[in-house]
Structures are given as C-alpha cells and as structure tokens.
Amino acid sequence: MTETNLEMQIDAVAGMIARSSNIVVFTGAGASTESGIPDFRSPGGIWTKFDPEDFTIDKFLSSPQTRRKQWRFLLESGLFTAAEPNRAHQAVAELERMGRLRAVITQNVDNLHQKAGNNPERVYELHGNMAWVKCLDCDERYALESILWQSMGGSDVPACEKCRGILKPDVIFFGEMLPPQVLRDATEHARNCDLFIVIGSSLVVYPAAYMPAYAKEAGAKLVIINMAPTPYDMEADLVLQAGAGDAMEKILAGVLARLS
C-alpha cells in the first residue's frame, strides 16, 4: 500500500466516523503493542516463552506447580502493571468524549481502555481483566498489584487472605467459557451499531471474532485496521494495513477537522 493510498483510506475512515453516531470499536492485541505488551501469538510473543498448555483452567485448578508458573510469569513480566495507554487507546477514548462511541469490545485484558478514559461501563472485556485477581472459593477480588506484592514478600503462590482459597487472575483461561452476560451485551452492541471498527485483531479467536460478522449482517459499515490480513478483509468496507496508534491518531485528527 502506498502512502498516498493510506492517507486516502485514513481520510475515508474519518469521514465515516463523522457521519456515524453509534460506533463500536473492537480491539485485539495489536492495539496494545505500542504500550509494550507483546502480541501473545506473534514471533517473540508470550507463547514463545511459556507453554499455553500451562494456562488451561483444568491444569491450573489441579496442579500447584502450574499455579506457581502462573505467578512466576506475572512477577517476571511486569507487563500488566506498568503499561500505559497509547495513541490508539487515547483516540478511542476521545471518540467516546465526542459522543460518537457507544461501546468498546476488547479481547485484551490490560485495562488500558479504562486507563485512557473510556467509561468502564462501556468497555466489554470478553477475556477478562488482568488488573484483578479472584478467589475461586469465596469470590473475593483483589487488585493484582497488591497480590504481586504479597508474592514478592515470600509466597510464590499467594492465597486468599479471607479464606486461604486458590487465587486466579480474573481472565479467561484456555478451556473456560467467556462471561455470558458480557458476551450477550457485546453482541447486542455489535448488532445495533452503524459503524464497527476493528483495531489490531487478527479475528481468528472465536467466539470473539463473530462480532464483526454480527455488525455487517445488521447493516453496519466495517473498518479493519490491522498490520496483517484477516479472514474478514473481503467483507470490510475499508481495510487499513497500518499500526494502530499511528492510524488512529491520524483518523482522529481528520474527524476533528471535519467537525470544527
């Protein structure tokens, strides 16, 4: 894609946003790489350093050794406590402040949309939120940072302070169902928007990847911003093969220019 073509596409997306009043943004790992969080599946990603089989819910529940690996991963990575929103997150938050955005549906667990200023009630986290830890016995919730400090204090597998039960990051492990109410609400928004914008998702992980299909079936325009091709490119109204931060920053500037 030439620079001129990309600029024309960015301008076209800005026009679509300016004409829309019910926008849904769908984000994947590519929306957060600029914040220093590596894509789990790409070369050099998390799954090249850790075995995904150690992150199944059955193994987590049955194996103290697996739980120890989990907490070691969290302690060593530091990814989810130190990361800050990037230009893509900030642009999405600005769309909400402008009254254009109705919902953010995200596959990410990094809490960066909320940090950027999106209303948490408008953010639908299909795979959970790594900022929290939940006790599987009594349902008590803790901030991840407080639990990591507990681990650093000597216990490499922290336990619930209330009942000494098993603590689990409040995210979806392999083999777990997506949270039903979140999935229902996200689907409802996808089916009722007038513009659906995908940012940084390969759209290969289901059922999350059904969301753009729901939007298109209901008559919404579909825009995909991703560095690599996706299975939905042929269905999209516009496809931008570009980095999330740079593209969203320029798109937002185009929207503001139109509305000023």
DSSP bridge partners of 27: 106, 199
Instruction: Determine the Cα–Cα distance for residues 103 and 122; give it in Å rounded to an integer.
Output: 5
Instruction: Determine the Cα–Cα distance for residues 219 and 113; give it in Å rounded to an integer.
Output: 26
Per the CB < 8 A criterion, the answer to whether 252 and 95 are in contact is: yes
127 is catalytic: yes
Instruction: Determine the Cα–Cα distance for residues 201 and 26; give it in Å rounded to an integer.
Output: 8
Give the DSSP letter string of 201-247: --S-STTGGGHHHHHHHTT-EEEEE-SS--TTGGG-SEEE-S-HHHH
Of the residues 89, 113, 127, 189, only one is catalytic, namely 127
Instruction: Determine the Cα–Cα distance for residues 225 and 199; give it in Å rounded to an integer.
Output: 5
Per the CB < 8 A criterion, the answer to whether 26 and 212 are in contact is: yes
| Chain centroid, CA 145 distance in Å | 20
What is the Cβ-side half-sphere exposure of residue 161, based on CA atoms within 13 angstroms? 8
Catalogue the active-site residues.
Answer: 127
